Chain A
Amino acid sequence: MDANETKTYLALLICAGILVLLIIVYVLSLMKHQRKNVTLYKEKVQAEITALENERRRFVSDLHDDFGPVLSSVKLHVASLSPSSPDDEALQKKSLHLINDMLSQIHQIANNLMPNALERKGVVIALKQFADDINSTGKIKITVSSESNDLAVVKKDEIHIYRIIQEAIHNTLKHSKADRMMIDFKNTTQDIHFTIDDNGVGYNYDSSSKNSLGLGLKNIISRVEMLDGEIFIDTAVGKGTHYSIIIPNAQNQ
């Protein structure tokens, strides 16, 4: 190379060096902002979901502590009436029947919003009870299996696992035409791994995701991300749907 070419080559090397440096700075800046965005996003989702759960808790408590006792008192009053004619007696029986229906509906609504078993017996038992309720309709057979009834998760996170499965079951009932569904929990040293399978019609994930994911699936993903977990899907038309969810356990959080 002559002197001129050497200078050009040197200039080129410097340009290449600057380019490499710029690319490194760009990538590092991207990564920094990605971490920041992830944190902000998680905080936002967490705030939304926590607000939603708190609202549900407050609503259940209102139903349970205010509305329920008032209705029970009405029931007592109606029962204590002494009907003077057969028509009045029939009316009293009908009223008592309606009040009983209303009380059991309140109990059901409260249980759907915030299952009692979840607080007292943990997520696995609560899900088994939820599955039994659905199985009793005869539309589908849901099996919940776990090596242990105690999952190594922080107590406050159990509600999110419950909601994830609840949403998945609703999705299956609504869209999949499945007659069997299996939910399986596994504890590992680092994570809790749970799978949700159904033998329904499945769907083409690529074409579905090009439009927009359904609200139910979005809720599932939001809760999984809130728990710092990952969710994978394996589905195809005619092959059922298989969700695999991994969330860090209580020791690993």
Chain B
Amino acid sequence: MLNYYYVTAFGYANLIAMTIGLVRFKKILKPFRLFVIFLVAGAVNDALSTFTIIYWHTNAANGNIYILIEAIILLFIFYNWGSFGKRILYLLLSLFVLVWVAENLVFGSLLKINSFFRLFYSLAVVILSIDQINVTMMHERKNLFRNAKFIICFLFAFYYTFKAVYEVFYVVPMKMSDRFDQNLFLILVFVNLFTNLGYALATLWMPTKQKLTLPY
């Protein structure tokens, strides 16, 4: 079993991607800049979580607020990539906020880790990622693994699928021992580590010039 320090260190692996992203921020194309902001938001929340866990033994409040911010950033990333138009964006934004408010403010508490919204937006991100993977495949003529959008969407699909599965254990109330709970979390820690290292690769491949292609 990994100790808390290793888990925290693995969580901070996104700092590599964030640093690369910030260094390249001005050069990269505008639709990818929001992804760097997504990485920065994640790093800020990780730092905040470390702090709140040390002092209050829970990161529920900042975690619940962060996931709403993360979901909104992700929606804008997909909007910038042309996944949907303005009307669908507003619709999804309203839906996300509605579900979040209902779970965290109306039916539940902001001070408890709530899972339904996490499950809900994870599934939405997986669906949007699969759609973008197919779009990328239609336009990319060279190696897909050199395409930043493909890598990011692949990692989104990978990470948020595991996250959705993980959250199911908390959405459906069931009795779990602490050890089982920790082991469950451990899977997500490794998935998260792999994803963060993949993000670093994606930030390296982020395009600086608008490439022109025609779909097949």
Contact = CB atoms under 8 A, between A and B. Distances in A.
A135 to B, nearest CB: 27
A2 interface: yes
A221 B211 CA distance: 10
B156 to A, nearest CB: 12
User: Which of A13, A41, A220: most chain B Cβ within 10 A?
Assistant: A41
A138 B157 CA distance: 56
B174 to A, nearest CB: 9
B183 A1 contact: yes
Interface in A105-153: none
A15 B177 CA distance: 20
A233 B210 contact: yes
Interface string A24-50: 000100110110011011000000000
Interface stretch (B6-14, B56-64, B133-141): B133-141
Nearest to B169: A12
A248 to B, nearest CB: 12
B216 interface: yes
A107 to B, nearest CB: 35
A220 B64 CA distance: 49
A234 B210 contact: yes
A244 interface: yes
B212 A244 contact: no
Interface in B179-216: 179-180, 183-184, 187, 209-214, 216
Interface in A213-253: 213, 217-218, 220-222, 224-225, 230-234, 244
B177 A1 contact: yes
Interface of A: 1-2, 5, 8-9, 12-13, 15-16, 19, 23, 27, 30-31, 33-34, 37-38, 40-41, 205, 210, 213, 217-218, 220-222, 224-225, 230-234, 244
Interface of B: 82, 133, 137-138, 140-142, 144-145, 154, 157-158, 161-162, 165, 176-177, 179-180, 183-184, 187, 209-214, 216
